[in-house]
Chain A
Amino acid sequence: MNARRREPAGQRRSRGHSSPPRGSASTRSTAPVPFDVDQLIDDPGTRIIVCCGSGGVGKTTTAAALGLRAAERGRSVVVLTIDPARRLAQALGLDELDNIPRPVAGSDGAGRLDAMMLDMKRTFDEVVEGHANPVKAQQILENPFYVALSSSFAGTQEYMAMEKLGQLHAQTEAEASWDLIIVDTPPSRSALDFLDAPEHLASLLDGRFVRMLLAPARGPARLLSVGLGVVTSALNKVLGAQVLTDMQTFIAACDTLFGGFRQRAEATYALLQASGTAFVVVATPEPDALREATYFVERLGSEHMPLAGLVVNRVQAEAVPAVSASAAERAAQQLVDQTGEQHEVAAGLLLIQAERARQRQRQDRLRKGFAGAHPEVPTVGVVALAGDVHDLDGLRQVGDLLAAG
């Protein structure tokens, strides 16, 4: 698993070139394959959909819209959301944070829609309680390091999202409760964090340093390398002696958990590679988001994780296809020059068109760049709605746009 450790950004790109091409990559045109979302959600073989992407691109919206659409088309769906916008959470009935899925009122059709919002700390606490005896569990839960770790957002949220996905999946197997799990991913700056953070945390928690710290507690002096004395004294100087003691207590208490951490991370990883899993990568037509999407797509390839397609969200709608940005601008100028204020309304509308068409051109160029590098990735664009998406009607509308391509 060490091969999966985080790599410097510069290396990500080169690695992707070695990933096997998918789909119909033979075509030279930069027009991407359309992403057939309905085919994906209607396929009973699709059991898990993971919505990934960089911060703020529309992961939660896409996850919820796909969930609603799939349910209304007959699937039994559970959506695991992470930090949804407040109004959307209310619309999904997620006001109550109890870390278990609840039915969503207002979804129509044959299927069923349940939704939940991840409670990171609670999920972590439950892992601890499930793996340690009550006395030991209590020790861990009260340790200052555990408290810091379980409420920190650096990696823990990703880790717990994976953990919850594993739990929901197990529940699905046991009770046949849902036939489709849709997971949202945390608002991290990089989409790759979702894949890297759990492994990073797991490898730390049962890594070299932990074994080293545990060594004195366990006795065998052979594990005491020459460096350890230097290390502990350095740590003592910086952190104070008490901190090291706390850290050792935490680690000793967690001892029973470590194998578990690693095993669980591995099991979820395997689940993400399974054929019933589909990754939906979400991006906005902006340079940063598309760059992140590129890294992520390439990474999925090298991890043999199944990519279903790319959603380019919040695309500028094409208002007047026949009038380009420059034509609109010229026309507006001409009206002002020739008729003064007589046609100022039309001139204003033309200037709006000029601005929109320019945005759209810029976005199309960026999308072409992505498609040029990865023509095999099925892609669908979703236009930017005038307001944000905060109720079931809005989600339905996004679902329609996703399906219409």
Chain B
Amino acid sequence: MSDWPRVRLHVVTGKGGTGKTTVAAALALGLARGGRQVLLCEVEGRQGIARLFDVEPLPYEERLLAVAPGGGEVRALAIDAEAALLEYLDMYYRLGRAGRALDRFGVIDFATTIAPGVRDVLLSGKVFEAYRRRARDGHPVYDHVVLDAPPTGRIPRFLNVNAEVAGIAKVGPIRKQADSIMQVLQSRGTAVHLVTLLEDMPVQETADAIGELTAAELPVGGVVVNQARSTPLTATTRKAVAAGTMNADELVPALEQAGLDRLDTSTSTVAQQLLSGATDHVHRLDLEERLMDEVDGLERPVYRLPQLGEGIDLAALYELADALCEQGMA
């Protein structure tokens, strides 16, 4: 059973490089299990999804990306503001020619740069449209929409579309659009999940973002601790290494037993080097544990994803999706 039974719009944010795209993709795969239709979107024009799945750059068009056990499907869409605006103009105003004129004069570039809120409304507007889209039978076309969102530094502004355009447009269609998007974002159908590593800055940014999202009445979801380290050491060994009470010479018989006494480096040097490597490792674990306590202190559901040694390919994504399902995120 998922921890987020009502949620259909999953927004995934986190500090840059923590694994937003990876987690968003794994979550989409997890949510697609059992025959669900899922749309995975990105909004920053970086083609992170295409790179991750090793496919051609995604157009502004929903494309089948992967399938999940039980007949589920993940589609992907790279949303860009220009295309979204042209589509919007066409749909509501049938502004085909004028739309292209806007583009030709650089109006869209100008308007969305000097008024970033407008850009954000266009981007989230498309997500909102996919979320609300219904098939003929009245059912939503997508069971879930997963957004690989901008990083924590920009997420409160990005999602708080209303406040963002309020300064600029007090009335008019863009304002109306912002209002309806905001309603969905603030509803129980949405969750904003945060991805972090067990490092100081990402954890700090996660805490800050939770504060800001809460202040903007945006629904905070879970915290995904990505690339969590594991240790082969037993608790006793770990303690001894941390305390610095271990004597490297005691390792020598073991190294001889393992045939590591015939190297160019002397066995006692190897023993010392092993111990110093282990000391670094244990310091790192201690730091991670301290940060894990901080994450637990945020009082949000926490999901842990292991660090996968060989980088992320499709098999790794399914593995991460498994982990998210097992822990109840999907």
Interface residues of A (CB under 8 A from B): 9, 54-56, 85-87, 144-145, 147-149, 152-155, 187, 189, 200-201, 204-205, 207-210, 212, 227-228, 230-231, 233-235, 237-243, 246-247, 250, 287-288, 317, 319-323, 327, 331-332, 334-335, 338-339, 343-353, 355-356, 358-359, 362, 386-388, 390
6 shortest A-B CB distances, which residue pairs? A240-B172, A319-B277, A346-B254, A55-B16, A331-B258, A343-B254
How distant is the Cα of A376 from the Cα of B7 in the complex, in angstroms? Answer: 52
Any chain A CB within 8 A of the CB of B309? yes
On whether the beta carbons of A353 and B274 are closer than 8 Å, the reply is yes
Q: How far is the CA of A339 from the CA of B250 in the complex (A)?
A: 15
Q: Which of the residues A87, A154, A246, A350 comes within 8 Å of B200, measured between beta carbons?
A: A87
CB closest chain-A residue, reference B285: A386
Q: How far is B104's CA from A356's CA once the two chains are assembled, in angstroms? A: 53
Q: Please name the residue on chain A nearest to B168 by beta carbon.
A: A144
Q: Which chain A residues lie closer than 8 Å to B310 at the CB level? A: 362
Q: Is the CB of A233 within 8 A of B232?
A: no
Please tell me if B109 contacts chain A, counting CB pairs below 8 Å.
yes
- A189-B44 CB under 8 A given contacts A242-B169, A346-B254: yes
Of the listed stretches B68-76, B126-134, B259-267, B298-306, name the one at the interface; the rest are far from the partner chain: B259-267
Interface string of B232-271 (1 = CB under 8 A from A): 1110010010000010001101110111100111000010
Interface range on chain B (Cβ under 8 Å from partner) = 35 or more
**Known contacts A235-B102, A322-B270: A339-B15 contact under CB 8 Å:** no
Query: A87–B310 Cα gap in the complex (Å)?
Result: 33
B168 lies within 8 A of A246 (CB): yes
B170 within 8 Å of A (CB atoms): yes
CB of B106 within 8 A of CB of A358, answer no
The answer, among B204, B231, B232, for a CB contact under 8 Å with A85, is B204
A209 x B107 contact (CB < 8 A) = yes
Residue of B nearest to A287 (CB): B311
Contact with A along B213-238 (1 / 0, CB 8 A): 00000000000000000011110010
In the bound complex, do residue B102 and residue A358 qualify as a contact, i.e. CB atoms below 8 Å apart? no
Contact of A240 (CB < 8 Å), options: B173, B255, B274: B173
Whether B111 sits at the interface, judged by CB under 8 Å, is yes
Q: In the complex where A86-B204, A148-B116, A339-B257 touch, is A238 in contact with B89 (Cβ < 8 A)?
A: yes
Interchain residue pairs with CB less than 8 A apart (17): A54-B17, A55-B16, A85-B201, A189-B46, A210-B110, A228-B105, A234-B102, A235-B107, A238-B173, A243-B172, A335-B258, A344-B234, A345-B246, A346-B254, A348-B278, A356-B277, A386-B283
Q: Which of B32-40, B90-98, B321-329 contacts A (4 or more CB under 8 A)?
A: B90-98
Contacts of A247 in B (CB 8 A): 111, 114
User: Given the complex of chains A and B, what is the CA–CA distance between A205 and B89 in angstroms?
Assistant: 25
B16, B93, B253, B260: the one contacting A189 at CB < 8 Å is B16
Q: State whether A242 touches B171 (Cβ < 8 A).
A: yes
A338 CB contacts on chain B under 8 angstroms: 257
Cβ-based interface call for B273 (8 A): yes
Check A147/B110 contact, CB under 8 A, given A319-B274, A319-B276, A349-B277.
Answer: no
Asked whether A148 lies within 8 Å of B167 as measured between CB atoms, the reply is yes
Chain A residues with CB below 8 A from B95, complex form: 234, 237
Whether B144 is near chain A, meaning CB under 8 Å from some CB there, is: no
Interface SS of A by simple majority: helix
Q: Give the distance in Å from the alpha carbon of A356 to the alpha carbon of B95 in the complex.
A: 59
Beta-carbon contact of B255 and A346 below 8 Å = yes
Q: Which residues of B contact A346 (CB under 8 A)?
A: 251, 254-255, 258, 274
The residue that A231 contacts in the complex, of B44, B107, B275, with Cβ under 8 A, is: B107
Shortest Cβ distance from B240 into A: residue? A345
Are B260 and A323 within 8 A (Cβ)? Answer: yes
Collect the chain A residues with CB atoms within 8 Å of residue B199's CB: 388
Whether A204 touches B109, Cβ cut-off 8 Å, given contacts A320-B277, A343-B254, is yes
**With A240-B172, A321-B265, A339-B254 already in contact, 16 other A-B pairs whose C-beta atoms are closer than 8 Å:** A56-B15, A145-B115, A148-B116, A207-B110, A227-B105, A238-B89, A239-B172, A239-B173, A246-B168, A319-B277, A321-B273, A322-B265, A331-B260, A344-B234, A349-B275, A352-B274
Q: Which residue of B lies closest to A10 (CB)?
A: B57
Known A287-B311, A349-B274: A238·B104 in contact at CB below 8 Å: no
> Is B118's beta carbon under 8 Å from chain A?
yes
CB atoms of A242 and B101 under 8 A apart? no
Whether A234 lies near B251 (C-beta < 8 A) is no
In the complex, A233→B201 CA distance in Å?
A: 46
How distant is the Cα of A272 from the Cα of B29 in the complex, in angstroms? 46
Contact of A243 among B164, B169, B280 (CB under 8 A): B169
Nearest Cβ in chain B — how far from A247, in angstroms? 8
* A153:B154 contact, CB within 8 angstroms: yes
**Which residues of B are found within 8 Å of A250, using beta-carbon distances?**
114
Collect the chain B residues with CB atoms within 8 Å of residue A241's CB. 172
Q: CB distance B309 to A237 under 8 Å?
A: no
B99 in the interface (beta carbon within 8 A): yes
- Complex alpha-carbon distance, A322 and B201, angstroms: 35
The interface residues of chain A lying within 8 Å CB-to-CB of B184 are none
B174 at interface (Cβ–Cβ under 8 A)? yes
In the complex, chain B residues 39-60 whose Cβ is within 8 Å of any chain A Cβ: 44, 46-47
Which residues, 1 to 47 on B, are CB-close (under 8 Å) to A? 15-17, 44, 46-47
Task: Tell me whether A387 and B283 are in contact (CB under 8 A).
Answer: yes
B98 touches A233 (CB 8 A): yes
CA distance A349 to B276 in the complex (A): 10
- The answer to whether A148 and B98 touch across the interface, beta carbons within 8 angstroms, is no
- Cα–Cα distance between A319 and B276 once the two chains are bound (Å): 7
CB atoms of A154 and B116 under 8 A apart:
yes
Greatest chain A CB density within 10 A among B99, B115, B175, B253 is at B115
